[in-house]
Structure 1
Amino acid sequence: MRHIRDLTHSYRRALYISAMAWLLSGCSLLQTESFNFQAELPENFTISATTYYDAASGESCPGHKVIKSDQPKGTQLIELKLPLTEKVKGCSRVLKSVVLNIKGQWGKRELDMSLQKAALYIRDEPTETTRPFPASGPLVFQGQCQWLFRTSGPNRVIRKILKCRALDANGVVQKSLAGGSMLRDGLAGRTVKLVLSVAQKEKPYYRGWWLETPKGWRPCTGLWGTNNEEFCTEPYKFLESFKMPDGRDCTVYPNCTE
């Protein structure tokens, strides 16, 4: 009889250990539920992600954000695993959005760079802009970055500003930021990919302040009587010169000389 009691006790203990292991495993899986984010980047671009969480339904805890680090320099394909849920101090939070911080380097100096943002939104209900998941493979969002040039400072040195926008299915540039929205349901374990390209031609930062000629862009002046670029009006008057970042005095961009 004692032998039977010992076996029963051992059996119950084994069941208890197995049950606890299963529960812990289940909690671990819940806490680490995530999706894969990939970014395909042009040369001299980097990207990092900031994830924003809100309290789960029925809870009153505040949201928070977690910053993911940049990828190593020279890497044109980055992959991050982004948690869909977070639990901090007993408070459950769910991922609502991901802000993607894009950095483009246009020159050799450290300051020769510009920043832009893209965004991913996780929806609980479908909207007109929510993208469905494909039957297989990643959900891909296309975007295009445009370099915009202008002169800056008393020496009228060329500087560049980055502008990144979404592309539609036909490759047409949209007004919205690169990225988009997707449903939470079915997102766990899937891959979401942002593919960024760069427009072949640069454009002036101020529309209508430079005139495009067969030799290149020329900065207008004369409207307000300054020695800086100004809105182009006929008869056209141009700046005598401006400086390239490397110090050259030029009259047209990007060819420098006519």
Structure 2
Amino acid sequence: MRLITGIAGVGCCLALVSGCSGGQPETFTFTADLPPDFAYKAIAEYMPAKGETCNVPGGRNTAVGYNLKWREGYLPNSEIAMYRTVSGCPLVISRINLDIKASYWTHRGDIGGDSAMVIVRDDLEEQYKGTFNEAGESTFFGHCQWLFRTSGAQRRIVKILDCKTANARGETERDHPVAGYSLDQLKGKTVKMKISLAAEEKPGWGDTWVEVPGGWKRCMGKSFEDQDAFCFGNRSDFSTFKMPDGRICTIYPGCTE
């Protein structure tokens, strides 16, 4: 199910903002239930409210960021203002662009990421609107999987995070995790993104690893220097590779056969 395609680049503003009603913002909470070593970054985007003809010069300060420094201090709960006024123009929340982050080793670059989104539109068809329970909480689901590959002269293992939308039973679809709501659904409510993680990893792309008892072996390719190293039907010539912790191994993920 795809509600919207594409994510535009936006600027971010972390200043305190006021709402439309007596200086007190009308808000809702976004939160996430994530696997260990996961976090999210969020950009809440705003657009002129319905019926407004004003605009913000250059579109500046029409977005607010949350958990942008997720490595230093991550907070799962983000209080999202439904309305803002920027350069005298009344704005309303239109979507939250989400960046799911996950660490697979201790080095700063050993992270993977994928995207998700919350859409806020009054013209959503009922079948695409999220629903809330009696406690005022709505949950949408995603399922992520690590994809492994080798990189560089030493064939070091690096990982790619692949996340898809899912239902409550864990059945996945092709698109990234996404949820949709109308504005009048959100005041004082909580929207939760719940992400599960596959127990097993898969190769990043086909015909580069061969599955064997106990794991996967890396095809040699033309030589150890061959960065693509496709198997091309050769299921007997394999190479070593380097784990993120520095071990030289012959089978993934167990290292030794």
Question: Partner of 1:231 in structure 2?
Answer: 230
Secondary structure of the residue that 2:23 maps to in structure 1? Answer: helix
Question: Which residue type is aligned with residue 211 of structure 1?
Answer: V
- The runs of 4+ residues in structure 1 deviating greater than 4 Å are 70-77, 223-226
Question: Which residue type is aligned with residue 106 of structure 2?
Answer: K
Q: Check the 8 A contact 1:40/1:77 in 2, yes or no.
A: no
Tell me, which stretches of 5 or more residues in structure 2 are unaligned? 1-18
Deviation at 1:224, TM superposition (A): 9.2
Q: Give the direction of change, closer, same or farther, for the CA distance of 1:194–1:40 in structure 2 (3 Å limit).
A: same
**Higher relative contact order (CA closer than 8 Å, sequence separation 6+):** 2
CA–CA separation in structure 2 for the residues paired with 1:233 and 1:149: 19
Question: Partner of 2:23 in structure 1?
Answer: 28
Q: Give the direction of change, closer, same or farther, for the CA distance of 1:237–1:225 in structure 2 (3 Å limit).
A: farther
CA–CA separation in structure 1 for the residues paired with 2:21 and 2:129: 30
Deviation at 1:226, TM superposition (A): 5.8
Question: Partner of 1:60 in structure 2?
Answer: 54
Q: Give the direction of change, closer, same or farther, for the CA distance of 1:40–1:70 in structure 2 (3 Å limit).
A: farther
Structure having the larger proportion of residues in helix:
1
Question: Which residue type is aligned with residue 65 of structure 1?
Answer: A
Q: After the TM superposition, which of the residue ranges 135-144 and 152-161 deviates more from structure 2?
A: 135-144
Deviation at 1:170, TM superposition (A): 2.7
Secondary structure of the residue that 2:194 maps to in structure 1? Answer: strand
Deviation at 1:121, TM superposition (A): 0.5
| Residue 212 in structure 1 maps to residue 206 in structure 2 | no
Question: Partner of 2:15 in structure 1?
Answer: none
Question: Which residue type is aligned with residue 244 of structure 1?
Answer: M
Secondary structure of the residue that 1:27 maps to in structure 2? Answer: coil
Q: Give the direction of change, closer, same or farther, for the CA distance of 1:65–1:248 in structure 2 (3 Å limit).
A: same
Give the counterpart of 1:117 among 115, 121, 129: 115
CA–CA separation in structure 2 for the residues paired with 1:224 and 1:55: 58
Question: Which residue type is aligned with residue 133 of structure 1?
Answer: F
Percent of paired sites with the same residue? 34
State the TM-score, normalizing by the size of structure 2: 0.81
- Taking only aligned residues, the RMSD between alpha carbons, in angstroms, comes to 2.6
Larger Rg: 1
Post-superposition CA distance 1:82-115 (Å, at most 9, x none):
0111011221011100011221110011221122
Question: Partner of 2:91 in structure 1?
Answer: 93
Aligned pairs, how many?
233
Question: Partner of 1:43 in structure 2?
Answer: 36
CA–CA separation in structure 2 for the residues paired with 1:37 and 1:80: 5
CA–CA separation in structure 2 for the residues paired with 1:198 and 1:74: 23
Secondary structure of the residue that 1:131 maps to in structure 2? Answer: coil
Tell me, which stretches of 5 or more residues in structure 1 are unaligned? 1-23
Q: Check the 8 A contact 2:219/2:234 in 1, yes or no.
A: no
